[in-house]
Amino acid sequence: MTIDQDGNRSLLAAVPALLLIALSLVIGTMSIFLFSIVQEAAKAELRLSDVQIGFIQGVGGALPLMLLSVPIGRAVDKVNRKWLLVALAASWTIGLFLTATASGMTSLMIARMFVTVGGFCSVTAAISIAADMCIPTRRGSAMLILTLGKWGGNAGAFALGGWLFGLLGSMAMPDWLGVTAPWRGVHMIVAAISLAMIFPLLLLREPARRETVAGADARFAVAMRELWERRAFILPLFVGQLSVAMIDTAAGIWAAPVLSRGYGLQPQQFAQWMGLVVFGAGVTGSIIGGLAADWGHRSSRRGGILIGAVAATALSVPMALFPLAPSVPTFAAMLGLFLFCGTAAGLIVSVAIAVLLPNELRGFCIGLFVALAGIVGFGVAPTLVTLVSGLLGGESQLGMALAIVGVATTALAAFAFPVAMRHAPRSSTSAAA
């Protein structure tokens, strides 16, 4: 049997488990972005400002990720990843319940911390498990399935969150929900769904670890030495992906308020079509990104796995101007292309980590990236947008501020990925380039 046939057979055997992991990422990602859809209502009820919302979404996400992502990533490389994934799912479920019952800024920020840790760090465990379920030349397809789950959750936050918000706002709230405001009811219902979805994860099996150099029991100092040897590749790779994550996070947080303030739309008016745009961009970006990663890895060019990321970030620079679109349809088209590029680039980077780094470094590197993404993406991006809007004249300039930050960060990513290509190692077990 040929290697290609073995690869197809390996991938097909892994599909049920990959779909189960992807389903967990649907709920985890939905939990992260659900609050952004209804935050204008929460802001009004709790009497919060844009700066306070940015602080809750920013520091509330950055602080726990900064403290916990690297230890969790290290744990991914050493412990049973299935149980770790279950624990992280429990974290975001608790965060959803706490969001629904928050009484002020402090309690709301604590709730978002639980959601952020569970939702983002679960990706670290998911990528590590998926990478060990199939051979390197099929990991782009495996990551495609996971990325579809993430974007399904992103789209679900808009579609399900907006639909529930409109539904609960037009009817008397059921007593069994235990809350009165529609935005609270949305979080309570999704929390119940999340709790039910934890149980199927118990059926997941822990796969054997592949492609280790120092082994899963390697000391921390050994792993750090391997990481340092690959710094010329990892540093620009991180810069590129952090730039993409930064503006994707900012767009996820502020796109809905821009539609409300700049175009006069309520969540129930844009939630359905925006959910379709987000999901369509996620699906097509995942497919193109996965195919591009597998094609690039099979090419003879050093760092060829990143060719698609270079092209995607170059296209995303003009699309970052979506908040300034002259009409709602143009806004939707530009946002869709922008998210398509971000999805493709992010998937390709995940595949590059899973293919070009040894097993004992994958969880740690993804955890380190999540920590940095928490600091830059959540700690800096939302606040940076509000600071820029303040310099431009106030909250009415939110769209312009989001566009300025978007163009700057995507341009940086378009510069960083070619640098990473030139310094990419040939394989996960080869010496650094």
Q: In the structure, what pLDDT confidence band is assigned to residue 83 with cuts at 50, 70 and 90?
A: very high
In angstroms, the CA 327 to CA 133 distance is 45
Separation of first and last alpha carbons in the chain: 32
In this predicted model, what pLDDT tens digit does every residue of 146-158 receive, in sequence order? 878 887 887 788 7
Which residue type occupies 13? A
**Nearest one of 340, 343, 355, 361 to 304, comparing CA atoms:** 355
Question: Domains, the chain, ranges and CATH?
Answer: 16-422 (1.20.1250.20)
In this predicted model, what pLDDT tens digit does every residue of 377-421 receive, in sequence order? 666 777 788 889 888 888 788 889 999 988 998 999 999 999 998
In this predicted model, what pLDDT tens digit does every residue of 302-328 receive, in sequence order? 888 899 999 999 999 999 999 999 999
Average pLDDT over residues 257-274: 81
pLDDT above 90 as % of the chain: 26
**Nearest one of 312, 305, 310 to 356, comparing CA atoms:** 305
Average pLDDT over residues 118-145: 82
Any residues with CB less than 8 A from the CB of 247 and at least 6 apart, and which?
320, 342, 381, 405, 406, 409, 410
CA 366 to chain centre: 12
Q: In the structure, what pLDDT confidence band is assigned to residue 3 with cuts at 50, 70 and 90?
A: very low
In angstroms, the CA 296 to CA 313 distance is 16
Query: Comparing 423 with 209, which gets the higher pLDDT?
Result: 423
In this predicted model, what pLDDT tens digit does every residue of 374-383 receive, in sequence order? 677 666 777 7
Q: Output the pTM of the full model.
A: 0.68
**Nearest one of 389, 385, 379 to 57, comparing CA atoms:** 379
pLDDT score recorded for residue 196: 93
The CA dihedral of 233, 130, 35, 169, to the nearest 10 degrees, is 150
